[in-house]
Amino acid sequence: MPDPAPTGREHDPLGVPRPGRTVTGPVTEIVPTGVLVRVGPAPHGPEGLLRDDELAGRAVRVGDTLTVRIVRVDAARPRIDLALAADSRTAREGTDAELAVTAALAGAAVVRGMYGAPLARFEKTAGDFATAADLEAEKVILDLVRAARPQDAVTGEESGSTGPGGASGTERMWLVDPLCGTLNYAARNTLVAVNVALRAGADLTVAASADPFSGEVFWTDGERAHVRRDDGVDEELTPSPASRLVDVNLDPPFPNAPGFAAARLLADARFAERFQTRVLSTTLALAWVAAGRRAAYVTDGDPRDNVHFAAGIALCQAAGCVVTGLHGEPPHTGAGGLVAAADRETHTALLRMIGDPLPPGR
């Protein structure tokens, strides 16, 4: 899908990204010299030509999504020349971490490009739905992952589990949440994330969480965690409790109720004295714990092979955060839920409040 609607110096007045910019868009037509790729805002944005020599024999069909680089824009003719982006060339040969980053950024480009447009909604459960952006972003991500790792299984938020094994017990499983924060997005709120993670055996080994609107992608190779911005420079993530901001997920399900209730935690006087609450309603907040922008994140639910939480958990663990279940047990065991904190002191304080809640009003 196309880059976002034209804003500022990254686009010309016609909405075409300037030369050097990377865009993800659909193939709209096969022509004798190559393929046309839409590089401007949907649905009638301008198209660029990607020549056959750039494709190097790669089979492409109308509707396929490609990540391309704008090489030349000739407004007089008009004509836009494209090159296949380096990420598209190297995803198959690259590391798992590089693939996670590439896939998350490709999904983020779709989410960004469709933002603000009228979108079809597809009801899932009461109060929950997917949009056309969820489905398109997931398709782009899964196409990249399947092309690069055809022997791996994949679980997508919208399409479920596919590939070898197809079940949660498979050895290598990619976990994809193409748009975490769908309700935010549908309300034209930009607090969302695109999450891609790999579980190999029992461990989350690599992950990427892309913010479509800041241009940042938080990623880990399982050893360290970084943030990469538009300039391509990686900065190592450093957790910090200094903000005192704790993000609490108030969205269902609540499998540990009535023993644990997130709303009751917010009413605890000890919590109010020590922390300040934020509710992003997206697991972008988990990446922010790893990055030092939140002191902690608390949620109910089952995090095992969970497409919403996997990338954020991997980021927090690699950054050195303290990550456990609601009662201090290792993640993915026990009662479930999740407490991810920047340091041990913050984590201990939250566990105490969760395990020994004060009566309302105290």
pLDDT of residue 16: 61
**Does residue 130 sit in helix, strand or coil?**
strand
pLDDT of residue 331: 83
φ, ψ dihedrals at 301, nearest 5° = 105, 175
Question: Three-class SS of residue 202?
Answer: coil
Residues contacting residue 88 through CB under 8 Å, at least 6 positions apart: 66, 67, 68, 102
For 308-330, the pLDDT digits (tens) are 999 999 999 999 999 999 999 98
Q: How many residues does the chain have?
A: 362
Which range (11-25, 111-125, 285-299) has the least confidence?
11-25
Distances (CA, A) of 322 to 16, 345, 347, 350: 44, 10, 7, 11
Extents of the domains making up the chain:
8-87, 91-235, 245-355
DSSP 3: P
pLDDT digits (tens, 9 = 90+) for 181-223: 999 999 999 999 999 999 999 899 999 999 999 989 999 999 9
**Side-by-side strand order, sheet with 203-210:** 160-162, 153-156, 172-180, 193-200, 203-210, 217-220, 225-228, 234-236
Q: How far does the chain reach from its first CA to its final CA, in angstroms?
A: 52
40-74 pLDDT, tens digit per residue, is 766 677 889 999 888 877 788 887 778 788 888 88
**pLDDT given for residue 359 in this prediction:** 54
Q: How far apart are CA 5 and CA 50, in angstroms?
A: 21
The predicted structure's pLDDT at residue 46: 86
Identify whether the C-beta of residue 341 lies closer than 8 Å to the C-beta of residue 350: yes
CATH topology of domain 91-235: Fructose-1,6-Bisphosphatase; Chain A, domain 1 (3.30.540)
Q: Give residue-wise pLDDT tens across range 141-163.
A: 999 999 889 999 999 999 888 87
CATH 2.40.50.140 at 245-355, yes or no: no
DSSP type of residue 17: B
Q: What is the pLDDT at residue 90?
A: 46
- The interaxial angle of helices 132-148 and 96-114, nearest 10 deg, is 160
Q: How confident is the model at residue 246 (pLDDT cuts 50, 70, 90)?
A: very high
130: Cα within 13 Å, side-chain hemisphere: 16
CATH number for the domain running over 8-87: 2.40.50.140
Q: Which of 211, 59, 185 is nearest to 130 (CA)?
A: 185
pTM of the model: 0.77
Most confident of 85-89, 98-102, 128-132, 294-298: 294-298
Q: Which two tokens stand for residue 52?
A: 């056959």
Which three-class secondary structure state does DSSP give residue 160? strand
